[in-house]
A and B are shown apart, each in its own frame.
Chain A
Amino acid sequence: MNADKVLDAKGLACPMPIVRTKKAIEELESGQILEVQTTDKGSQKDMTGWANSTGHQLVDSKAEEGTYTFWIKKK
């Protein structure tokens, strides 16, 4: 999936992946896609929860060899 911006949040522990994601998405325009990479297992549920709560759309995600990637479309 093509992303307008990629955020590397690998190696960061909760809450930093979401804190960084929030900052990164603020810099995007509505409809643009942010790709976020994390290694914190808890970020899977939290990214879903955060997207639901803020209204941004979690378009896709995958988990591969301990790295989690999320694609979020700014509302």
Chain B
Amino acid sequence: MSEETKPTTITRMTPHELTQIVAGHEELFILDVRNETEFNDWKIEGEKIEIINIPYFDLLDGIEPALEQIPDHKRLLVVCAKEGSSQFIGEQIAEAGRENVYYLEGGMKLWSEHLEPVKIGDLMSGGEVYQFVRIGKGCLSYMVVSDGEAVVIDSARMIQPYLDFAQARDVQIKHVLDTHLHADHISGGRELSNVTGAAYWLPPKDADEVTYPYNELVENGDIRIGTGNVNVHPIYTPGHTIGSTSFLIDDQYLLTGDILFIASIGRPDLAGKAEDWVSDLRNSLYELYGGLPEHLIVLPAHFGKVNELDVQGKVWAKLGDLFSTNPGLNIKDETDFRKTVTENLPPQPNAYQEIRQTNMGKINPDEEEQREMEIGPNRCAVHDN
């Protein structure tokens, strides 16, 4: 039998399948064979996921050190940066007699780019809201669909999933919006608008330095889709950036961008002005959001931990509930608040300065460089525990 036709003893697991396991709180044992620094920076997480790290180059003399640590009865997923090393190690584990051995298709690279669309709900005026969960990086983007038209909010760099989704539903993407100038990922907004002919909208206060034309998002400058019944209503909520804008959709859903998350709040330092924006952030959260109806469904642009996903893999909460459960909305004292959002912050996202420059159109890295810049968690929240 030639090399090519040799039957594989291990099974490929797609990012979609792994997403189902993570969201469904299923058990899985992961052997991550990347080097230690990469592993410590960023790894696959899940409620019932047990994970160990042994670099593949420490297993070249034999896989015994790994076998000793892998429980017999569990599904085993071997993971590496791209795929090659996980197959290399996984096959040896299977040859040693272990069953239920999988490798992750495309490795952490593909995991970081995978978008999983989930339906959030229907709109009273007719239409639906979908959340695109970038589970490997914790980024959330949205598509609102009504009467053959769609608006995409906070598009990820990979735009194909939105195009495919729109095509499958026979809807045309008419508007592309970003809640703010992102620092943790490269926005696909501009490219999506180029490809579809949709209008691209940015908050003007975040777009001082952008090098390309855009439409200005202004408070009360509502964007309508479909027959005009569904409206996207911008609310100026500065604090994470000076331009940060939230969207109230159909008086039901509140897209909070990087201002308010489920378990935390946005950090004000990624554009370099933490001290200046503390009071803006507090005002946006406590006064502006505090004055909105409690029944609104909050849809943020990120999650921190996978336990923020519900069993269907969605990330959402009622605004009223967040005012009792979210620690960031329960800091009475202004000085304490200032401390929380300016001191002991988690490390900044990988390459965040270059990412901001790219989103402004000032630098144009190639795809491989863009991918490299986006490696790692989003780290846009003040709490990262």
Contact = CB atoms under 8 A, between A and B. Distances in A.
Interface string B77-91: 000111011001000
Interface of B: 35-38, 55-58, 60, 80-82, 84-85, 88, 368, 372
Interface residues of A, number: 16
Contacts of B85: 14-15
Interface stretch (A1-9, A29-37, A43-51, A57-65): A43-51
Contact of B55 (A13, A22, A49): A49
Given A15-B57, A49-B55, A53-B55, 8 more contacts: A13-B84, A14-B84, A16-B84, A45-B38, A46-B57, A49-B35, A49-B37, A54-B57
A49 B88 CA distance: 18
24 contacts: A13-B82, A14-B80, A14-B81, A14-B82, A15-B57, A15-B85, A16-B84, A18-B56, A18-B57, A18-B60, A19-B60, A22-B57, A41-B372, A45-B35, A45-B37, A45-B38, A46-B55, A46-B57, A48-B35, A49-B36, A49-B37, A53-B55, A53-B57, A53-B58
Given A15-B85, A42-B82, A50 B57 contact: yes
A42 B372 CA distance: 11
Contacts of B35: 45-46, 48-49
A9 B358 CA distance: 33
A56 to B, nearest CB: 11
A15 B88 contact: yes
B56 to A, nearest CB: 5
